[in-house]
Chains A and B, each alone.
Chain A
Amino acid sequence: MRDLFIEIWESIRRNKVRTCLTGLAVAWGIFMLIVLLGAGNGLLNAFMGDSDDFATNTMNVFPGVTSKPYDGLKQGRRIRMTEQDMEMLRQPAFADHVDKVSTQATQGGYAMTYGRRYFRNIVLTGCMPDVEKVDRIQMHAGRFINERDMKSRRKVAVITHLHAKNFLSGSTDYDRLLGKRIKVGNLSFVIVGIRHGAENEDDRAVYIPYSTYKHLFSLGNRIDELNISFHDLETEAEAQAFEDEIRASLNAAHRVAPDDKRAFWIWNRFTQSIQMEKGRSLLITALWIIGLFTLVSGIVGVSNIMLITVKERTHEFGIRKALGARPGNILKLIVTESVLITAFFGYIGMLLGMIACKVLDLTVGQSKVELFGESFKMLENPTVGLSTAVGATVVLIIAGTVAGIFPAMKAAKVKPIEALRAE
């Protein structure tokens, strides 16, 4: 075995150009594949990253304006939702799919103070306890709003860890804030919990119980939105049917034409996430197809050069055969050389590709684009998993070997007398 390697080392050492060309084809193939997949992943992460923040089995309903005259009422009528709508959806008729029905209301522009520290532009949100699950709220300390807060209309609040950190002068000992009083506007609340606030977004919501909010702002019966969580909906069609059912009931209850789609705005996170998932898998498929073609071009490069190599060395193989090399010896020599070269340069290409991904992350990955008034990251974590990178390299090595085997078998079969004549 050692002899074989010395033999190969000699031939590589004396044929640097050929070796480098083969290596370039391999390294380039792997490099491109990894950079491509990395950039693609970055794109996916940037655009799809938020979708994991919410439970997908929810639907939000907002009131709109009717677009058709119906039942003696003219079009353009503004819809007002009330707590009766919530009660309606809680009826057993909807129990097959509806889990919980809740609502929330927000009011912005408040100042929040704690001792001498304060925040401007705080959003006060009155919510029900289910929001913790629906919006997947993470708690750093204390608890979220609960049923007893709701029942007793307690003046309690949940603030973000970003607020808390500021109140504690940078410390993260959040427990110290529990039970402390803050002022929002001219209202006083007791902190019962510290939740996680998204750092990159402007997350300024302070949660208080909906009952408290309703009382403080005298909302009466009116609600701003309906939050419905549901279960046992598997397909997009089922979700759509459910959505239609809800809309029909609401339209009927509010004397709206059955086919009027503007009276209520329904944001169905489930169908949306399915569509997003579709787009995502489409993008992934496209990426893999492009990646595989890149890989194929690498393989073609390798086989091409192997073909030339074998042709170039036919005379040498003839000499070796005359001196007693068996076809197996020749085959082993070529294939081992091809494997070693592809493995070595494949590894280098893989490393360079990963470095390029890192560079991409540190440059383009940090920049943001403005779109519809919101800023998006262009790329988020544009890297390829190590297993994918290694997998692609292994595929190329195997392909390089297979590519080497055919010309090698041909070379091994050539009669020595013909090989000796070749020049």
Chain B
Amino acid sequence: MLIELKGVHKTYDNGQPLHVLKGIDLEIEKGEFVSIMGASGSGKSTLLNILGILDNYDEGEYHLAGKLIKNLSERESATYRNEMIGFVFQSFNLIGFKTAVENVELPLFYQGVSRHRRQEAAMAYLEKMGLTDWASHYPNEMSGGQKQRVAIARALITHPEIILADEPTGALDSKTSVEVMDLLTRLNREDGVTIIVVTHESGVANCADKIVHIKDGLIEKIEDNRQHHSSVFGADTIMK
């Protein structure tokens, strides 16, 4: 079992307490492609942040690859994030003053990998994303799709246990959205990367083999979507 959540609770306390996650139990195997769906405010992003050790939780247990992730110091959680998790964000979150290849290199920088080997690895992943020619370009010189592919390359470079994608197509047009989702699907099928996508778009969620529906801080149902007939991409859906 790669990911194991047991009775995870999370309450935000900004003035008045907001109980966002009300006991989440979830298990995800290695090599799965899972999407987490829910309306805004359902707690799906909070869940993703907890999965990505970007945020802590109040109650319950979270095991990632056998390790209990609870009450970690900033230092430990940084190390776990670096080694086990690759992030793909809606707004790409590339560093503006770094070129594509430098952005991709960054996680390896924090592992202390030498400059030369970092560059080599980053170029290999950019090539895989078809961005060799864009390696020395800055993010503001690239299209949204290109930026997201750079971000995916950056997420992959440390060979993480899981890729966490938070609305990866949220800032992209529908054509590029399809391309990015195809890319993620291919990574899952061909390279066996475990991928968890958070989205509120059914078309995006349909790419996954398993859809976790969240409502009001609880898992409503877990849908087996290996047939991918939940909601076809692009066809009369809510996709832009």
Using a CB–CB cutoff of 8 Å, the interface residues on chain A facing chain B are 2-3, 6-7, 10-11, 13-15, 316, 318-329, 412-413, 415-417, 420
* Apart from the given pairs A416-B81, A420-B89, 15 other A-B contacts in the complex at a CB distance below 8 Å: A10-B102, A15-B97, A316-B95, A319-B95, A320-B95, A322-B81, A323-B106, A324-B79, A324-B158, A325-B110, A326-B78, A327-B75, A329-B110, A412-B74, A415-B54
Q: How far is the CA of A13 from the CA of B102 in the complex (A)?
A: 15
Taking residues whose C-beta sits less than 8 angstroms from the other chain, chain B's interface range is 20 to 34
Closest to B107 in A: A323
Q: Which residue of A lies closest to B80 (CB)?
A: A324
- Tell me if B87 counts as interface (CB < 8 A to partner A): yes
Nearest-neighbor residue (CB-CB) of B164 within chain A = A322
Within 8 A of A (CB), among B155-180: 158
B98 contacts A415, C-beta separation under 8 Å: no
Q: Provided the pairs A3-B109, A323-B107, A417-B54 are in contact, do residues A328 and B75 lie with their beta carbons within 8 angstroms? A: yes
Please report the C-alpha to C-alpha distance between residue A13 and residue B95 in the assembled complex, in whole angstroms: 14
State in angstroms the CA–CA spacing of A14 and B102 once bound together.
14
Flag if B97 contacts A10 (CB, 8 Å).
Answer: yes
Residues on B with beta carbons closer than 8 Å to the beta carbon of A326: 74-75, 78-79, 110
Q: Which residues of B are found within 8 Å of A316, using beta-carbon distances? A: 95-96
Closest chain A residue to B55 by CB distance? Answer: A417
B56-100 at interface with A (beta carbon < 8 Å): 74-75, 78-79, 81-83, 87, 89, 93-98
Complex CA–CA separation, A314 to B189 (angstroms): 37
B76 vs chain A, min Cβ distance (A): 9
Residues of A within 8 A of B87 (CB): 322-323
Partner of B154, one of A10, A323, A412, A420: A323
Secondary structure type dominating chain A contacts: helix
B237, CB-defined interface residue at 8 Å: no
**Residue numbers in A under 8 Å from B82 (CB-CB):** 323-324
Question: Does A325 lie within 8 Å of B78, measured CB to CB?
Answer: yes
Residues of B near A412 (CB, < 8 A) are 74
Query: What is the CA–CA distance of A3 and B112 in the complex, to the nearest angstrom?
Result: 9
Complex Cα–Cα for A265 and B214 (A):
104
Over the window 96-129 of chain B, the binary record of Cβ atoms lying under 8 Å from chain A Cβ atoms (1 yes, 0 no) is: 1110001000110111000100000000000000
State whether A323 and B110 are in contact (beta carbons under 8 Å apart), knowing that A316-B95, A420-B93 are contacts in the complex. yes
A328 neighbours in B (Cβ, 8 Å)? 75
A336: shortest Cβ distance to chain B, in Å?
A: 15
Which chain A residue has the least Cβ–Cβ distance from B115? A3
Query: Across the interface, do B107 and A324 meet the contact criterion of CB distance under 8 Å?
Result: yes
Q: Please, which residue of chain A has its CB at the minimum distance from the CB of B94? A: A319
- 4 tightest CB-CB pairs across the interface, nearest first? A324-B82, A14-B97, A324-B110, A417-B54
CA distance A325 to B87 in the complex (A): 14
Which residues of the partner chain A approach B102 to less than 8 Å between Cβ atoms?
10
* A415 near B97: Cβ-Cβ < 8 Å: no
Tell me, rounded to whole Å, the shortest Cβ–Cβ distance linking A214 to chain B.
Answer: 89
A11 to B102 alpha-carbon distance, docked (Å): 12
Known contacts A327-B74, A415-B54, A416-B54; A319 and B111 CB within 8 A of each other = no
Contacts of A320 in B (CB 8 A): 95, 106, 110
**A324 contacts B95, CB within 8 Å?**
no
Closest Cβ neighbor of B166 among chain A residues: A420
Q: A322 — which chain B residues lie within 8 A by C-beta?
A: 52, 54, 81, 87, 93
| Residues of the B chain whose Cβ atoms lie less than 8 Å from the Cβ of A420 | 54, 89, 93
B132 within 8 A of A: no
A163 to B102 alpha-carbon distance, docked (Å)? 77
Identify the closest chain B residue to A13 (Cβ): B97
A316–B95 CA distance with the chains assembled, in angstroms: 6
CB distance from A5 to the nearest CB of B (A): 11
In the bound complex, CA of A329 to CA of B75 (Å): 10
In the complex the two chains form, is B97's CB within 8 Å of A413's CB?
A: no
A11 and B97 contact, CB distance less than 8 A: yes
Minimum C-beta distance from B125 to chain A (A): 14
B42 within 8 A of A: no
Q: Which residues of B contact A416 (CB under 8 A)?
A: 54, 81
* C-alpha spacing A283/B8, complex, angstroms: 70
Asked if B11 lies at the interface with its beta carbon under 8 angstroms from chain A, I say no
A412 to B94, CA, bound (A): 19
What chain B residues lie within 8 Å of A3 (beta carbons)? 109, 115
A16 → chain B closest CB, angstroms: 11
Within the complex, what minimum Cβ distance (angstroms) separates B31 from chain A? Answer: 23
Chain B residues positioned under 8 Å from A15 (CB to CB): 97
Contact B98 A321 (CB under 8 A): no
A248→B130 CA distance, assembly (Å): 106
